[in-house]
Amino acid sequence: MSQFYPTGEQKLSFSNVSPRVGIELHPTERIMLYGSFSKGFKSGSWTTRVAAPVPPDPTKPADKQAPSFNPEKADTFEIGFKSQLFDRMLQVNAAAFYTDYKGIQIQIQRGIGASFENAGNARIKGFEVETIFAPSRVFRVSASAGYIDAYYRRINDPSGTITLASRLPRVPKWTATLSPEFNVFLANEGRVTLRADYSYKSTMAADAENTPELFSGNVSLVNASLTYSAPGDDWSLAIGGNNVFNKRYIANGVNQLNGAGLLSAVPNRPSEYYATLRFKF
């Protein structure tokens, strides 16, 4: 019988100081400008699922035999502003960011097992804008849009599974949301609220290998709800649905074609409907 994983106690030790500095400027009472720099850190660890026996490495001590990966570090710059305009009827916030990742941790399929590895260095930059428009108590709408440009700058994968042309997994280039809300105020001082939530994500790779069959495609989802709130908000009854148009797409997946000969995909949740009753004590 083969021993797959090294026996005995395995040890890893990491230390890190991650500072953050920022500055805020208030040119007016309703506008705030800001900028920040921060360093991030994600601890290293071990890969505990292996597809083949891990042979002893005579160059390493007994407590360093298990396959491991190093910490991931990131330097992030961000600038932006927050504002409340037209007597607080309109709120607009925007930010632009730039992040350098070193030793980015990626899960890669090796045979039938998933291996966590430091794939290399990556850069992520982009922007996001969000706004809330509330002209009255009756109507309110919020919206947001974001763009992310994420790419590898250096690759540590000698097998060629990941290349500089590979997309980082689960990172859409474009995202957007739109959420209108209508309130009807009743004679008994109760309230009926009708709300819809639309979200959009451009196509994403489900795995580090960028398996074509596991890309999500562009995804648009709609949720909706109708809520009655009793006078004083003592209780409320809501009915609604998530993914009301039953949009189906690949939410996750694993490519084991080179190991177990399998390609598996996990779809998103279908349409779901609910009723919620809340009481305030």
Write out the DSSP string of 153-172.
Answer: EEE--TTSSS-TTPPPTT--
How far apart CA 269 and CA 253 sit, in angstroms, is 14
Q: What is the pLDDT of residues 164-222, one digit of tens each?
A: 999 999 999 999 999 999 999 999 999 999 999 999 999 999 988 899 999 999 999 99
Q: Over 60: is that where the pLDDT of 2 sits?
A: no
Residue 231: per-residue pLDDT: 92
Mean pLDDT of the chain: 92
Residue 1: per-residue pLDDT: 42
Q: Which two tokens stand for residue 52?
A: 């083949």
Q: Which two tokens stand for residue 177?
A: 């949301």
Residue 3: per-residue pLDDT: 62
Amino acid at site 86? F
Q: What is the pLDDT of residues 145-159, one digit of tens each?
A: 999 999 999 998 877
Residue 97: per-residue pLDDT: 98
Give the pLDDT band (50/70/90) at residue 160: confident
Residue 195: per-residue pLDDT: 98
Give the pLDDT band (50/70/90) at residue 63: confident
Q: Where are the beta strands (DSSP E) in the chain?
A: 20-28, 31-42, 45-46, 68-69, 72-85, 90-110, 113-133, 139-155, 174-185, 191-201, 219-229, 235-242, 250-256, 262-267, 272-279
Q: Is 9 helix (H, G, I), strand (E, B) or coil?
A: coil
Q: Which domains does the chain have, with CATH numbers?
A: 70-279 (2.40.170.20)
Q: Is 63 helix (H, G, I), strand (E, B) or coil?
A: helix
